[in-house]
C-alpha cells in the first residue's frame, strides 16, 4: 500500500504541469509569430519602398512615352499637312506597286474621290498599256529620269519617281511625283506655233521682195501689149492679167507694210476688263441681239497689264468680228477672263491673264486651223488675210500668245494669254 502511493502522481499535479508546458509552448509560438510578423512588416515596408520607386519610374517613363507619342503625332500631322498642301501629287506604293498613300493633290489629279489604298499604280494610268507603263516606270526609277509624260483621263501628266528606302538603304517602296501639265503642254504648243508663224512671216516678207520686181515687169509689159492689141477679146485677156497683177501687188504691199519693223508704242498700265467692256459696248450696237447673244464672264478682280490700248482694242474687235461672221443665223458669243500662267522658253512660267473668245458658229476645219494666223491666208474671197495675222503680231508685241481651236460642242475658241503687269517679258517691260 505504502509503496504504491509513493510511485503515483496526483492528477491535479499532472494537469498543472501539462498546463505549464502548454503555456510555455504558446509563449514560444507567440514570440515566433511576433518575430515572423516583424520580418514580414520589414519585408512589406521594403516592398512598398521598391513599389513606390518603381511606380515613380513608371510614371516618368509614361510621361516620356506620352511626350514622345505627342511629338510623333505632331510631326505626323505636320508632315501630313505639308504633304496635303503640296501642289504636286504624291503617290507612295510598296515594291509591288500597291498604293499605300496619296496626298490630296494626287486624289484631285486622278479624280479618285478619295484614297485608293491597296490598288495598283497602273490602275491610275488606264490609257497606257500595262506592260509599256511598267517599263517606263522602271526606267524612270532606275535612271532617276524626270519629265515622263503620260496620258490619264484626258490629261497629260508628268511623272517622276524614286525609291523609298529604310534606315539601311534597302528599298521598301516607291514614291511617284505627279504634275498635271495639260495646260503647260498646250502653252508649249502655242509657243511652237507662234515661232513657226513668225518664221513664216519673215519668209513671206523675203518672198514678197523677190516677186515684187517681176510683177512690176509683168504689169508694165501688159500695159504696153494692151496698146498694140486690136481684138477686144485679147484686150480683155490682157486687162484681166493686169487686174490680177495689181491685186497681187496690193497684197504684197500690205504684207510688206505688215512685216516691216514697227515702232512699239509707249506701253502703259491698262485695266484689261475696261478695254473688253468698251469693245463689247461697241459690238452690241452693231449685232442684232435677237440673232446673236453675247455673254461676258470676267474674273472677280481686274487684271492689270502693260500695253497699247488701241492695239488691244484692235485685237478684241477683230476676234469679235470673226465670231460674228462665223455665226450663220442665230448663235452665242462668249467672252471669259481668268487668271492663268504664260509659258515662255526663256522666261519660264509667268503669271498671266487668259482671255477666251468662243462662238457656236460653223467651226474651223483642221486644215484651216493650221494656217489661220498665216499672213495672206483667208477663207473669204475678199479678205486680205492680214486680220488675224495682225492680231498675232500685236499679241507677240505684248509678250503674249494666241491660239485657236475647236472646243467642245462644236464651239470655236480663240485663247489669248497676256502677262500681268509686273512680270519681266518681251515687249511689256516692268510695271512702273
| Three cell numbers, residue 325 | 461672221
User: Considering the domain boundaries, does residue 77 fall inside one?
Assistant: no
Instruction: Report the sign of the C-alpha dihedral through residues 192, 197, 200, 205, in that order.
Output: negative
β-sheet bridge partners, residue 306: 269
Range of the domain at 19: 1-55
Residue with cell 452665242: 332
Looking at residue 351, its pLDDT comes to 86
Domain match, 211 and 345 both: yes
User: Considering the domain boundaries, does residue 432 fall inside one?
Assistant: no
- Of residues 211 and 231, more confidence is placed in 231
Confidence tier at 270 by pLDDT (50, 70, 90)? very high
Domain count, the chain: 3
Domain match, 192 and 292 both: yes
Confidence tier at 192 by pLDDT (50, 70, 90)? low
Given a cut of 70, whether residue 243 has pLDDT beyond it is: yes
Alpha helices in 229-271 (DSSP H): 232-259
**Per residue in 115-131, pLDDT tens?**
677 888 888 887 777 77
User: Considering the domain boundaries, does residue 60 fall inside one?
Assistant: no
Domain match, 227 and 208 both: yes
User: Considering the domain boundaries, does residue 288 fall inside one?
Assistant: yes
Q: Is 373 within 8 Å of 385 (Cβ atoms)?
A: no
Cα torsion for 280, 284, 288, 291, to the nearest 10°? 30
Looking at residue 7, its pLDDT comes to 55
Domain match, 136 and 36 both: no
Looking at residue 424, its pLDDT comes to 54
Domain boundary among 180, 196, 223: 180
Domain match, 110 and 25 both: no
Alpha helices in 86-158 (DSSP H): 104-110, 130-143
User: Considering the domain boundaries, does residue 62 fall inside one?
Assistant: no
Q: From CA 304, how far away is CA 274, in angstroms rounded?
A: 10
- Of residues 64 and 22, more confidence is placed in 64
Domain match, 107 and 231 both: no
Q: Mean pLDDT across the chain, nearest whole number?
A: 77
In a 3-state reduction of DSSP, which class is residue 350? strand
Domain match, 38 and 108 both: no
User: Considering the domain boundaries, does residue 251 fall inside one?
Assistant: yes
Looking at residue 389, its pLDDT comes to 80
**pTM summary value:** 0.47
- Of residues 401 and 150, more confidence is placed in 401
User: Considering the domain boundaries, does residue 82 fall inside one?
Assistant: no
Domain match, 165 and 200 both: no
User: Considering the domain boundaries, does residue 220 fall inside one?
Assistant: yes
Domain match, 38 and 126 both: no
Kindly report the CA angle at 224 between 221 and 225, in degrees rounded to 5?
85
Question: Strands, E, within 265-388: which ranges?
Answer: 268-271, 292-297, 304-307, 331-344, 348-359
Domain match, 176 and 195 both: no
**CATH for 154:** 3.30.450.20
Domain match, 229 and 154 both: no
Domain boundary among 12, 39, 55: 55
How many other CB atoms sit within 10 Å of the CB of residue 170?
Answer: 8
Given a cut of 80, whether residue 69 has pLDDT beyond it is: no
In the chain, % of residues over pLDDT 70: 75
Looking at residue 1, its pLDDT comes to 46
Domain match, 41 and 157 both: no
Domain boundary among 180, 213, 245: 180
For the segment 66-86, the average pLDDT, to the nearest whole number, is 75
How many other CB atoms sit within 10 Å of the CB of residue 201?
Answer: 21
Looking at residue 429, its pLDDT comes to 36
**CATH for 278:** 3.30.565.10
Amino acid at each position: 500500500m505504502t509503496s504504491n502511493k509513493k510511485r503515483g502522481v496526483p492528477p491535479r499535479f499532472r494537469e498543472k504541469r501539462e498546463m505549464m508546458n502548454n503555456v510555455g509552448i504558446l509563449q514560444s509560438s507567440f514570440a515566433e509569430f511576433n518575430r515572423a510578423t516583424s520580418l514580414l512588416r520589414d519585408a512589406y515596408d521594403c516592398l512598398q519602398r521598391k513599389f513606390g520607386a518603381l511606380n515613380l519610374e513608371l510614371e516618368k517613363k509614361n510621361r516620356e512615352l506620352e511626350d514622345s507619342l505627342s511629338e510623333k503625332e505632331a510631326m505626323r500631322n505636320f508632315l501630313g499637312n505639308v504633304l496635303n498642301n503640296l501642289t504636286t501629287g504624291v503617290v507612295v506604293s510598296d515594291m509591288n506597286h500597291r498604293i499605300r498613300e496619296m496626298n490630296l493633290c494626287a486624289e484631285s489629279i486622278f479624280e479618285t474621290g478619295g484614297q485608293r489604298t491597296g490598288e495598283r499604280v497602273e490602275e491610275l494610268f488606264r490609257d497606257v498599256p500595262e506592260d509599256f507603263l511598267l517599263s517606263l516606270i522602271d526606267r524612270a526609277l532606275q535612271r532617276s529620269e524626270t519629265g515622263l509624260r503620260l496620258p490619264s483621263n484626258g490629261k497629260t501628266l508628268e511623272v517622276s519617281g524614286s525609291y523609298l528606302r529604310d534606315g539601311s538603304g534597302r528599298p521598301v517602296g516607291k514614291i511617284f511625283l505627279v504634275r498635271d501639265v495639260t495646260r503647260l503642254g498646250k502653252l508649249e504648243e502655242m509657243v511652237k506655233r507662234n515661232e513657226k508663224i513668225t518664221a513664216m512671216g519673215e519668209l513671206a516678207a523675203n518672198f514678197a521682195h523677190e516677186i515684187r520686181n517681176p510683177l512690176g515687169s509683168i504689169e508694165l509689159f501688159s500695159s504696153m501689149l494692151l496698146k498694140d492689141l486690136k481684138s477686144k477679146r485679147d484686150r480683155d485677156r490682157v486687162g484681166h492679167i493686169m487686174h490680177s497683177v495689181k491685186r497681187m501687188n496690193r497684197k504684197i504691199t500690205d504684207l510688206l507694210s505688215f512685216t516691216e519693223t514697227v515702232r512699239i508704242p509707249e506701253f502703259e498700265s491698262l485695266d484689261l476688263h475696261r478695254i473688253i467692256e468698251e469693245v463689247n459696248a461697241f459690238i452690241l450696237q452693231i449685232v442684232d441681239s435677237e440673232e446673236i447673244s453675247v455673254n461676258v464672264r470676267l474674273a472677280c478682280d481686274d487684271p492689270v497689264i502693260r500695253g497699247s490700248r488701241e492695239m488691244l482694242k484692235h485685237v478684241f474687235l477683230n476676234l469679235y468680228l470673226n465670231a460674228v461672221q462665223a455665226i450663220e443665223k442665230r448663235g452665242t458669243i462668249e467672252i471669259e477672263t481668268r487668271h492663268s500662267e504664260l509659258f515662255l522658253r526663256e522666261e519660264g512660267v509667268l503669271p498671266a491673264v487668259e482671255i477666251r473668245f468662243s462662238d457656236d458658229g460653223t467651226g474651223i476645219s483642221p486644215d484651216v486651223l493650221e494656217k489661220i494666223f498665216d499672213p495672206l491666208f483667208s477663207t473669204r474671197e475678199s479678205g486680205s488675210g492680214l486680220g488675224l495675222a495682225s492680231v498675232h503680231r500685236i499679241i507677240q508685241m505684248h509678250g503674249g500668245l494666241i491660239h485657236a481651236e475647236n472646243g467642245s460642242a462644236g464651239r470655236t475658241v480663240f485663247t489669248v494669254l497676256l502677262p500681268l503687269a509686273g512680270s519681266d517679258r518681251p515687249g511689256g517691260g516692268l510695271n512702273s
